Amino acid sequence: MPAATATPPASFPSLANQFLVAMPNMLDPNFSGAVVLLCEHTENGALGMIINKPTDLTLDTLFERIEIPLHNPKLHHLPLYYGGPVQVERGFVLHSPVGKWSSSLQIAPSLGMTTSKDVLQAAAQAEGPEQILITLGYSGWGAGQLEQEIAQNAWLNLPIRHDLIFDVAPELRFVTAYQMLGVDPLQMSTQAGHA
């Protein structure tokens, strides 16, 4: 019997490894103005992390709370992000390069997502990934839910770009994502077109 895979059948249009950008008329406060990095998308649902909603907490506070001494000065004042409304007590680490960590998912050739503590321990010693973004919680959709939201014009999608995650300031990521699509979000209609 062949091993099960997380890869959807060829007929399933997976949006994994792409960004979801909330339409300007998004009413859900969790996702209003959100840019979500979609890590997994199968027939069973989808999982992603919001990359543009920093919290008031910084990584030095996080590392203190999880009792890992932080000796990497580059991380001290980086923000901790709100990744979505699911499991907000749990941390998710986006990082580049991928590396080899206990519990990782490769999202793109040089981008991974890890939920194990070993990546944080290495990062605290300046021995971890060069680029890092940590969220509390994630964004999840059940089977068919994301497809329904897209059909209702709740989201736009675009290919993944590292610079949007790690180099663009968090407050500019939403507008920058729209600019990458060649669209001005302020000029978009809040009504879907129907014939």
Q: Where are the domains of the chain?
A: 18-187
Q: Residue 189: what pLDDT?
A: 56
The pLDDT value recorded for residue 13 is 79
Sequence letter at residue 47: L
pLDDT of residue 25: 87
Q: Rounded to an integer, what distance in angstroms lies between the CA atom of residue 10 and that of residue 8? A: 6
pLDDT for 14 equals 87
Kindly report, residue by residue over 135-158, the tens digit of the pLDDT: 999 999 999 999 999 999 999 999
Q: Output the CA torsion sign for 185, 188, 190, 194.
A: negative
Give the pLDDT score at 190: 52
- Spans of the chain, pLDDT less than 70: 1-12, 188-195
CATH classification number, 18-187, choose in 3.30.2350.10, 3.40.1740.10, 3.30.200.190, 3.40.50.300: 3.40.1740.10
Helix, strand, or coil here: 171?
A: helix
pLDDT of residue 185: 73
Q: In this structure, are residues 68 and 124 in contact, taking their beta carbons and an 8 Å threshold?
A: yes
